[in-house]
Amino acid sequence: MSTMPTTMHLPQDASRLPMTLPRLLEKQRRGEPLVMVTAYDYPSARAADRAGVDLVLMGDSGAMTVLGYDSTVAVTPDELMVLAKATRRGLQTPFFVADLPFGSYEVSDEQAVQTAFRFVKEAGADAVKLEGGGETSVRRARAIVNAGIPVMGHVGLTPQTATALGGYKAQGKSAGAAVKIAHECLALQEAGCFSIVFEAIPSAVTEVIMPMMEIPVIGIGAGPATDGQVLVFHDLLGIREGRGAKFVQRYADLLDEMAVGVAAYAEDVRAKRYPGPEHGYAIEVGELADFRASFGLSAVEPDVEGAAI
């Protein structure tokens, strides 16, 4: 006879249950907007988790926001693996997606599957994301899905190949380009992707494509018609110089606040205001006397009679 309990005690807020693919699809079906944000380390992951977002993407944008590269092209799987592991340790409930970096999946299906396996097995990713909707990306997506790993697609502006697209600018602004994006979306959907990111696509184009999509679509600069939105952590919190892309809504200016805080600390150190007495640790008077005596020094009077200093 089973000893399993007949009732399940759920958290008061059921939305804090770990996010799964069936729950994401159910939220899409009910028309509940999906919230995704990038994270690249333990602190940013904890902030995203506490905020109650649905999905967290360890994006290859970490190459620029965290590692200081001027694009996402140079970052390696090993570098992103460090960021992915740290991010995973900070997450409890969001669905965790890891970006596959440029050059780690394009060569062959075998390369793509092996790279995806690494991010799932070593970093604990729930899914992986790859860019592009051309023939190669579709084949790689299908191979990874067939290996049992959920895949998120990415169309429109694909930063890994931005040079070939003419730079970091909106895509699909001509009828032919918009048709190409629509075909890419449908091909990725048919390949088994569980979701697709639309980046920097005209809102009107998104509105035409959305009725064709059965899987959740996450937008970034693609208008309000998508099933959800994603922003880069450092963009939305202002932990970067400059204003960023047109689609970025900044909700804080933390870089300025960080600079002010560090400048205040530096000023206190130079003025010898920090550290103060309240920042020091005490030692018992007798222990201090014995310590000084071991170097032939005389005892000193305590600051307060009978107290440790």
pLDDT digits (tens, 9 = 90+) for 183-209: 999 999 999 999 999 999 999 999 999
Distance of alpha carbon 39 from alpha carbon 53, whole angstroms: 11
Report d(CA 250, CA 272) in Å as an integer: 37
What's the pLDDT at 169? 79
Least trusted range by pLDDT, from 66-75, 112-121, 224-233: 66-75
How do 95-99 and 151-156 pair as beta strands?
unpaired
Taking residue 264's Cβ as centre, other Cβ atoms within 10 Å add up to 11
Q: Please give the mean pLDDT across all residues of the chain.
A: 90
Report in angstroms the alpha-carbon separations of 13 from 93, 97, 173.
Answer: 12, 23, 43
- Whether 301 sits among the annotated catalytic residues: the reply is no
| Predicted local distance difference test score (pLDDT) of residue 159 | 75
Catalytic option among 199, 257, 267, 287: 199
Query: Is the pTM higher than 0.85?
Result: yes
One CATH from 3.20.20.60, 2.60.40.420, 3.20.20.70, 1.10.3210.10 for 14-236: 3.20.20.60
- Cα–Cα distances in angstroms (integers) from residue 149 to residues 78, 127, 174, in the given order: 19, 6, 34
Quote the distance between the C-alpha of residue 112 and its chain's center: 21
Greatest Cα pair distance, the chain, in angstroms, is 89
DSSP characters for the chain?
A: -----SS----SSGGGSPP-HHHHHHHHHTTPPEEEEE--SHHHHHHHHHHT-SEEEE-TTHHHHTS--SSSSS--HHHHHHHHHHHHHT-SSSEEEEEPPTTSSSS-HHHHHHHHHHHHHTT--SEEE----SHHHHHHHHHHHHTT--EEEEEES-GGGTTTTTSS-----SHHHHHHHHHHHHHHHHHT-SEEEEES--HHHHHHHGGG--S-EEEESS-TTSSEEEE-HHHHTT-SSS---TT------HHHHHHHHHHHHHHHHHTT-SS-GGG-----HHHHHHHHHTTTPPP---SSTT---
Q: Would you call the peptide bond into 275 cis, given omega within 30 degrees of 0 as the criterion?
A: yes
Q: What's the mean pLDDT in 32-61?
A: 97
- Give CATH 3.20.20.60 domain extents, the chain: 14-236
Confidence of residue 9 (pLDDT cuts 50, 70, 90): very low
**Mean pLDDT to the nearest integer, 122-140:** 97
Contact 130, 154 (CB under 8 A): yes
Question: Taking the mean position of all CA atoms in its chain, how far away is CA 212?
Answer: 28
pLDDT digits (tens, 9 = 90+) for 85-99: 999 999 999 999 999
